[in-house]
A = this chain, B = another copy of it.
């Protein structure tokens, strides 16, 4: 009998034990997109990002660099900044408990009375930090002690998106979603359009589910394009803006969809870029952030309106979350075994699943 491919076994979507392994081996070891550099344009600007059970302060230093510090005072462990907060500090982060104070580089610069404690030296207690890398205006962090360099992993990307000039874009809108589904079901859903005819009637009018081609089919960067029947992916099919940067030729009739393993979904349209970041909360729940990026020069024009793009995708997102949620509910059944995949549409899923297994150090299944 011919070998048929299928998705991961039940426990990969339902087991809290495997979820903990994923947290350790994937979310605490791989490069995670946490947002855009424009969120913290000035020294002292910061935001707090939860990663698994950890809380990180992403802050721009006096020197203009972006750092990611663990949100944990070195004295008694108190949070320096509130959960999910964002804001601005002048020069330092002060613990609200005993006033231990750190500069924006994370060095301990104030610890009341501790000079009276024999053996105490401030330089022994900097904030713990994670690695930071910026690419095309996206901020990536990595909690591993010695992460594989971002460029080694994503070198193939460097020229791929030059025409869109993503670094220059700015966010017009952010929507947060809480979805009752495993994060991998969400990536798998993003990776195929076999479901589009039934799930996305509006999208199916703008882009045929059998159109397009994948160009990256293996590894930590997966995706391809689909063809546009109309100007862009919007409520009425018209573009919201003139084409981005140097986008032209066949790219004017395409939407590119890519997954940067493990948590960034990047969707390039002629006139805007959409991205999702995924934040697993448990084996059955994921927090998703979706943002829409436009050319800032276009955004200041009086007739600019992002709504047709935002509302189109907000509707489409919710259609996807729903089918992911009913799949999450179903795969927990004792009788569930993964069914055969439709190769030609579902093959990126198989590639993604392999990448997950590889990261976990588990055996390949197919």
Contacts and interface: CB of A to CB of B under 8 A. Distances in A.
Contacts of A339: 73-77, 125
Interface stretch (A94-102, A242-250, A284-292, A299-307): A94-102
Interface in A178-232: 194-195, 197-199
- Determine how many copies of this chain the complex contains: 3
Interface string A159-190: 00000000000000000000000000000000
A332 interface: yes
A96 B10 CA distance: 20
A251 B149 CA distance: 65
Contacts of A326: 78-79, 82, 96-97
Q: Which interface residue of A7, A326, A329 has the most chain B CB atoms within 10 A? A: A326
Q: Which interface residue of A54, A82, A342, A343 has the most chain B CB atoms within 10 A? A: A342
Interface string A322-352: 0100110111111110111111110000000
A113 B10 CA distance: 24
Nearest to A124: B340
Interface in A1-50: 1-4, 7, 10, 28
A14 to B, nearest CB: 10
A235 interface: no
Interface stretch (A114-122, A259-267, A271-279): A114-122
A119 B96 CA distance: 64
A96 B198 contact: yes
B327 A78 contact: yes
Contact of A334 (B54, B79, B340, B345): B54
A318 interface: no
10 contacts: A3-B119, A54-B333, A54-B335, A71-B330, A72-B335, A73-B330, A77-B327, A78-B330, A79-B329, A116-B344
